[in-house]
A = this chain, B = another copy of it.
Amino acid sequence: MSSQAETLKNNGLKVTLPRLKVLEMFEKTPGQHFSAEEVYTRLIESGNDIGIATIYRILMQFADAGLLRKSNFDGDKAWFELEDGEHHDHLLCVDCGKVVEFLNPSIEQQQRTVAKQHGFELLEHNMVLYGLCGACRKTPMA
């Protein structure tokens, strides 16, 4: 049995071809983010016969199972990435779309403090920093 099949089983998901293909795609490209549409296009182009609805269902299941992480970079469409077990936030270049993952313990600490100050129990958070990456700062858009 493939390692992907093992992963699915361990997460209580029945092993099916579409699920294997989606998981495989993410594991082939560690550290990258994809929208549902992108996952769909890639699989279709790889010769797989799969529907966009199935992609959405699988991505949601994987996110629920903790295999994938779902991010919403503002009002835009949702992006998915492999969950590496380690929480992190995102730094996004508004020019080229480059995404950098980071983890800042000091910020995480302060977030808990802020929540506490307002009587909240912090469950999770979403933080995206928008800026210009080194390359795009040197070559501004025409």
Interface set of A (CB-CB < 8 Å, partner B): 70, 72, 74-75, 78, 91, 93-94, 100, 102, 104, 106-107, 110-111, 113-115, 117-134, 137
Min Cβ gap A121→B in Å is: 5
Q: A73: nearest residue on chain B (CB-CB)?
A: B126
Q: In the bound complex, how far is the Cα of B93 from the Cα of A124, in angstroms?
A: 11
Contact of A129 among B75, B115, B132 (CB under 8 A): B115
User: With contacts A125-B127, A125-B128, A131-B123 known, is A110 near B106, CB below 8 A?
Assistant: yes
Most chain B CB within a 10 A radius of its CB, from A107, A122, A130:
A107
Min Cβ gap A82→B in Å is: 19
Q: A102: nearest residue on chain B (CB-CB)?
A: B114
Q: A133: nearest residue on chain B (CB-CB)?
A: B120
In the complex, which residues of chain B have a beta carbon less than 8 angstroms from the beta carbon of A122?
A: 129-131
Q: In the bound complex, how far is the Cα of B70 from the Cα of A75, in angstroms?
A: 10
Q: In the bound complex, how far is the Cα of B99 from the Cα of A120, in angstroms?
A: 11
Q: In the bound complex, how far is the Cα of B93 from the Cα of A95, in angstroms?
A: 33
Q: List 23 A-B contacts (CB under 8 A).
A: A70-B75, A72-B72, A74-B126, A91-B120, A93-B120, A94-B123, A102-B117, A102-B118, A104-B113, A104-B114, A106-B106, A107-B107, A107-B111, A118-B133, A120-B133, A120-B134, A121-B132, A124-B131, A125-B127, A126-B126, A126-B127, A126-B128, A127-B128
